[in-house]
Amino acid sequence: MSTTSPNSAKTSAPAATEPAKSSNFLRQIIESDLASGVNAGRKWAGTPGDGAHQAAGQPDPARIRTRFPPEPNGYLHIGHAKSICLNFGLAQEYGGVCHLRFDDTNPEKEDQEFVNGIVDTVRWLGFDWNANGTSHLYHASDYFDFMYRAAEYLIGAGHAYVDEQSAEDMRINRGDFSRPGIDSPFRSRSPAENLERFREMRDAKHLDGSMVLRAKVDMASPNINLRDPTIYRIRRAEHHNTGDKWCIYPMYAYAHPIEDALEQITHSICTLEFEDQRPWYDWLLARLIEGGLLNAPPPRQYEFARLNITYVITSKRKLAALVYDHKVNGWDDPRMPTLVGLRRRGYTPESLRLLAERAGTSKSGGWTEYSTLEGCLRETLEETAPRAMAVLDPIRLVLTNWDEVMGLSATGDSKLDTCSAPVHPHRPELGKRSFSMGREVWIERGDFEETPPKGFFRLFPGNKVRLKYGHVIECTGCTRDADGRVDTVQARLIPDTKSGTPGSDTVKVKGVITWVGVADGRKAEVRLYERLFNEPQPDAGGRDFLASLNPNSLRIVQAIVEPSLAKARQDDKFQFERHGYFVADRVDHSDSRPVFNLSVGLKDTWAK
């Protein structure tokens, strides 16, 4: 991908902003399922529900059903974007539907603020859970009644029992990889006794933690998840959806397969850490189908490797620590890998969809380079972002012969000369922008060297450069302030060299520099971001990720920007020529106080 800089020719073709789809194991599974018709007989009654409810429905208009099931206990991060793109993307590709399901079975951690944030973010990424005239937005907590009924069924069928062992005994008796488990003394209670006890649990007759409901599977299974997993626990906690209706709550591993089944999900896609849960997922649904509570075929679980990106943390808990310890300024700090943070940083939905596709979908983990993420953003902005000039570290350049060359105005003042530039170098339809050059302009401090190092082609006494879109100038010297810092650079304008005028390139120069006029430049705050961590895998191997925080991850500078940026609205994205892509901050930017965030630098080798 090429980028624009004053001294590099444009060569590349327009970027493809939508991913080129490559096959992956999930696409292959879906294609083979569609070919074999395993799911073809499924019915859908228009809403989630048990076997009888669905059986009375129509043949499912969705060829496949997937779901994105976030727990509303925090803001979504870039790892979730992978899961969203995968689940919604596969449904789109194969004529299916993807449900947005709030997995809110845990009463204590969930919050409406997070629910709203997730809804906004999934929409922003470009996905929709409305299909066939129905909104497929669901809450797992709406299924508590069915989950309870299923638990009573399992008890009645001899597949579940109330265990009153202490948590400690239960842990010890579960065994480990080398030792089989030991049956609980409560395992052989009769269904009637278990049912009575379970109802007492529901009716708040027992203390939190005093007993649990467990499935009766196999205490000797080599898969520890099958050693009579807990399916219900007592927890006197108010739930954001069901209030204090329940004092018992289902465990995630019990709730999740049931949620999938009630929603007629065909392909339940999750991350690899759930692989060992799959036998339990299948066992549970097989029992409920046997009991007539659900219909065959059950949903099937498939696991893929989670997205890991170098220099990025994707754990809600650790991200929360950064926020609560004030290491960053909130969940939407532009350095955060949350989707609200990336959005504020200037990331586009297209760039994140592109990343999700490029990172690939496989069963073996791995790390995606941070530079891949940045590359995806550059590619989507390259063809769309209007160009502008900005000087991030301004010093004054005085064109000492300006009045002599340009003449004075009627009032005896220095004249201004209008320069124009395309809004986008490849998209003439976007028009032109204009700004003025005058006797004084702002240039980058780094573009001047009194004693140039070898290979330096920009301003130094005796050298000529072009002021981009303007004239060629020749540097004559500089003045320093009391501290010895360069304060002003002097140069002479070379007449008849203005860009775009006949013969303007007869004077050859090796350097072109960007600038902003003193007369019409506008002040702006620019926030320059770097990676939040200095380590490529900040939390690998249980490392203290706070120890590798980059102390320079935010630097704020007072910049001068060209007048066309006066029209910038929050969220508008630009390429500041030679510097990178910037976005008008979606929180702090205003007409009276312009604020721009660095989204990503140019893949530019402006090292001349």
In the list 3, 4, 66, 83, the residue contacting ligand ATP (rule: CB under 6 A) is: 83
Q: Give the angle subtended at the CA of 322 by the CAs of 358 and 594, to the nearest 5°.
A: 75
CB of 431 to ligand ATP, least distance (A): 42
Q: Does residue 538 belong to the site contacting ligand ATP (CB under 6 A)?
A: no
| 149 is an active site residue | no
81 closest CA partner among 124, 41, 113: 124
Residue 83 or residue 553: which is nearer to Mg ion going by CB? 83
Residue nearest to Mg ion (CB): 71
Residue nearest to ligand ATP (CB): 79
Between CA 346 and CA 352 the distance in angstroms is: 11
SS3 289: helix
Residues 304-363 that bind ligand ATP (CB under 6 A): 306-307, 314-316
| 93 is an active site residue | no
Residue 288 or residue 313: which is nearer to Mg ion going by CB? 313
Selected catalytic residue, list 27, 43, 63, 71:
71
Residue 3 or residue 308: which is nearer to ligand ATP going by CB? 308
Residue 71 or residue 572: which is nearer to Mg ion going by CB? 71
* Binding partner of 361, given Mg ion, ligand ATP, none, CB within 5-8 angstroms per partner class: none
Q: Beta 595-601 vs 522-529: how paired, if at all?
A: parallel
Residue 251 or residue 270: which is nearer to ligand ATP going by CB? 270
Burial 397-419 (b: 16+ CB within 10 A, else e): bbbebbeeebeeeeeeebbbbeb
Between CA 466 and CA 441 the distance in angstroms is: 13
In the list 53, 57, 71, 430, the residue contacting Mg ion (rule: CB under 5 A) is: 71
Q: Does residue 82 belong to the site contacting ligand ATP (CB under 6 A)?
A: yes
Length of the chain: 608
Outline where DSSP puts E strands in 118-166: 130-131, 134-135, 137-139, 160-163
| 168 is an active site residue | no
For residue 453, cis peptide bond before it (omega within 30 degrees of 0): no
Between CA 7 and CA 607 the distance in angstroms is: 11
- The DSSP 8-state label assigned to residue 460 in this structure reads -
Between CA 36 and CA 38 the distance in angstroms is: 6
Size of the site for Mg ion (CB under 5 A): 1
Q: Sheet with 554-561: list strands edge to edge.
A: 387-388, 573-576, 580-584, 595-601, 522-529, 554-561, 390-391
* Binding partner of 264, given Mg ion, ligand ATP, none, CB within 5-8 angstroms per partner class: none
Size of the site for ligand ATP (CB under 6 A): 14
Q: Which stretch binds Mg ion (CB under 5 A): 71-79, 224-232, 490-498, 507-515?
A: 71-79
* Binding partner of 390, given ligand ATP, Mg ion, none, CB within 5-8 angstroms per partner class: none
Under the phi-then-psi rule, with left for phi > 0, alpha for psi from -120 to 50, and beta for the rest, what region is 399?
beta
In the list 26, 90, 213, 270, the residue contacting ligand ATP (rule: CB under 6 A) is: 270
CB of 102 to ligand ATP, least distance (A): 9
CB 577, CB 5: distance < 8 Å: yes
Contacts 24+ apart (CB under 8 A), 447-455: 447/513, 448/395, 448/475, 448/478, 448/486, 448/489, 450/478, 450/486, 455/608
Residues 34-73 that bind ligand ATP (CB under 6 A): 69-71
Residue 71 or residue 449: which is nearer to Mg ion going by CB? 71
Q: Does residue 604 belong to the site contacting ligand ATP (CB under 6 A)?
A: no
Selected catalytic residue, list 233, 316, 439, 458:
316
Q: Does residue 79 belong to the site contacting ligand ATP (CB under 6 A)?
A: yes
Q: Which stretch binds ligand ATP (CB under 6 A): 34-42, 76-84, 231-239, 256-264?
A: 76-84
* Binding partner of 356, given ligand ATP, Mg ion, none, CB within 5-8 angstroms per partner class: none
* Residues noted as catalytic: 71, 306, 316
Q: What is the binding site for Mg ion (CB under 5 A)?
A: 71
